[in-house]
Amino acid sequence: MGKFDEVVEKAKAHLAEHFAGHNVDEAMLLAVTKGLGPSIYGKDSGTVSCSQDSEKETVKKSFLMKKHGLTDEAACDKAIAEVCEQYKGARMKSRPVFYYVLVKKLGLEKNY
């Protein structure tokens, strides 16, 4: 199993553990993960820290607004806060999982 496949398997395990009852769209998870590029392999860059405002700002500005063209900052902040709340049981929040859940929550699948 390659490194990418390992990241995807870990992401699926996190989804099963922290987002129970969520039917995983594997094709979408693969697309979101692939879209993150090499950042998924780094210890720090592969995770999202909900306790750091700068990290949440990066998710909002770089991922939601720049990549997906969203313009409503309040809606972006609300979605990020909701995912942080749902994912609070994990100390290390997987970036692919965090972004995948945002994509599903905000209906951004068409961008993939």
- Check residue 34 and give its pLDDT: 95
Mean pLDDT over 15-38 rounds to: 91
- Of the pLDDT bands very low, low, confident and very high (cuts 50, 70, 90), residue 23 is confident
Q: How far apart are the first and last CA of the chain?
A: 25
The pLDDT confidence band at residue 60, using thresholds 50, 70 and 90, is very high
pLDDT value at 21 more than 80: no
C-alpha neighbours within 13 Å on the C-beta side of residue 85: 6
Instruction: State residue 28's pLDDT score.
Output: 96
Tell me: the pLDDT tens digits for 81-91? 999 999 998 88
pLDDT of 22 higher than 80: no
Reported pTM: 0.94
Structural domains of the chain ordered from first start: 3-111 (1.10.238.120)
Residue 63, SS3? helix
Contact (CB, 8 A) for 33 and 96: yes
Cα gap 15→111, rounded to integer Å: 21
Looking at the predicted structure, is the pLDDT value of residue 43 above 90? no
